């Protein structure tokens, strides 16, 4: 379904309407779409009403000509309006990587909309200003690469150590690459500059303000994010961290059954 939100045509899909089950909104990562969760939907339906959203400039959702439109403030306003006006509240919110960063910002902005949030391989942002500037510079170079040679960028991207995965099903990995190839490079470049990790405001000092339950998920092989999420677990009052064995950054691909089991325990 397409609906205009603050001047942008957003794509979302409600996969089930069972009055006895809570809604679960799923937010994908960079270069993804709601289709990234297709292999989870049938199982999720047993304990929730899954809803997938294509985020700004991704999948079938429109982008914008200027990268400031992709900023945290703008995207939080978009998705908050979409969720609050279209779906039964309060609901559960899940986000992976970029989608997890957005989910955290959404929960801090309007915690009353959510029963709880699930963050897979997410971060609160970069505290150190030198590191923030270095990441902004890296994302600017990556943006140039996306618009200059998108095919080459995709080849380099999948070779990053972050995505090293020997456990994911071959068909799932092929689907991920197809979804990435179908993206609009210009919008992806703007997304990276407007909502990259170096640009997103760091919210570590706000974590203690969260009063809703938070489920943190990381893969044991993703040591950087295990460290970040152990920090988050200490600073969020109602947070629980699950470190999934034999999984990297993309737990939903490497160990989908374990991921769904964690979601089921959290929601039910």
Identify the helix (H) or strand (E) that includes residue 106: helix 98-109
- Whether 208 has a pLDDT exceeding 80, the answer reads yes
What's residue 73's pLDDT? Answer: 98
Q: Render pLDDT for 37-78 as a digit per residue (tens, 0 to 9).
A: 999 999 999 999 999 999 999 999 999 999 999 999 999 999
Q: Is 111 exposed, middle or buried (0-12, 13-18, 19+ CB in 10 A)?
A: middle
DSSP-assigned beta bridge partners for residue 175: none
What's residue 165's pLDDT? Answer: 66
Q: What contacts 85, CB < 8 A, 6 or more positions away?
A: none
| pLDDT band of 164, cuts 50, 70, 90 | confident
CA 40-101-249 angle, to 5 degrees, is 55
What is the CATH number assigned to the segment(s) 2-267?
3.40.50.1820
CB atoms within 10 A of CB 68: 12
Q: Is the pTM of this model over 0.75?
A: yes
Name the strands in the sheet holding 8-14, side by side, starting at the edge strand that comes first in the sequence: 2-5, 8-14, 49-53, 23-27, 91-96, 114-120, 214-219, 239-244
Q: Render pLDDT for 99-150 as a digit per residue (tens, 0 to 9).
A: 999 999 999 999 999 999 999 999 999 999 999 999 999 999 999 999 999 9
Evaluate whether 36 touches 29 at the Cβ level (below 8 Å).
yes
Identify the residue whose tokens are 């339950």: 213
- Whether 167 has a pLDDT exceeding 90, the answer reads no
What's residue 221's pLDDT? Answer: 95
Give the number of C-alpha atoms closer than 13 A to the C-alpha of residue 232, restricted to the C-beta side. 31
Pairing of strands 49-53, 239-244: unpaired
Percent of the chain scoring above 70 in pLDDT: 99
| pLDDT band of 241, cuts 50, 70, 90 | very high
- Whether 238 has a pLDDT exceeding 90, the answer reads yes
């Amino acid at each position: 379904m397409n609906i205009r939100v603050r001047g942008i045509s957003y794509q979302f899909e409600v996969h089930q309407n069972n009055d006895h089950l809570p809604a679960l909104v799923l937010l994908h990562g960079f270069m993804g779409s709601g289709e990234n969760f297709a292999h989870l939907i049938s199982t999720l339906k047993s304990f929730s009403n899954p809803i997938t959203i294509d985020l700004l400039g991704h999948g079938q959702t429109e982008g914008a000509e200027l990268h400031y439109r992709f900023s945290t403030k703008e995207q939080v306003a978009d998705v908050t309006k979409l969720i609050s006006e279209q779906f039964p509240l309060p609901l559960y919110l899940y986000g992976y990587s970029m989608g997890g960063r957005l989910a955290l910002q959404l929960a801090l902005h309007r915690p009353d909309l959510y029963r709880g949030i699930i963050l897979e391989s997410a971060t609160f942002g970069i505290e150190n200003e030198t590191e923030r500037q270095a990441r902004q510079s890296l994302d600017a170079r990556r943006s140039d690469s996306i618009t200059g040679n998108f095919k080459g960028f995709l080849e380099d991207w999948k070779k990053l150590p972050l995505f090293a995965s020997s456990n994911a099903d071959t068909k799932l990995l092929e689907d991920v690459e197809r979804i990435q190839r179908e993206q609009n490079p210009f919008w992806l470049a703007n997304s990276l500059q407007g909502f990259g990790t170096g640009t997103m405001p760091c919210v570590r000092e706000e974590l203690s303000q969260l009063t809703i339950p938070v489920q943190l998920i990381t893969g044991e092989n993703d040591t950087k994010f295990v460290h970040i999420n152990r920090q988050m677990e200490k600073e969020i009052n109602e947070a629980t961290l699950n470190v999934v064995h034999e999984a990297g950054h993309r737990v939903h691909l490497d160990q989908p059954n374990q991921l769904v089991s964690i979601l089921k325990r959290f929601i039910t």
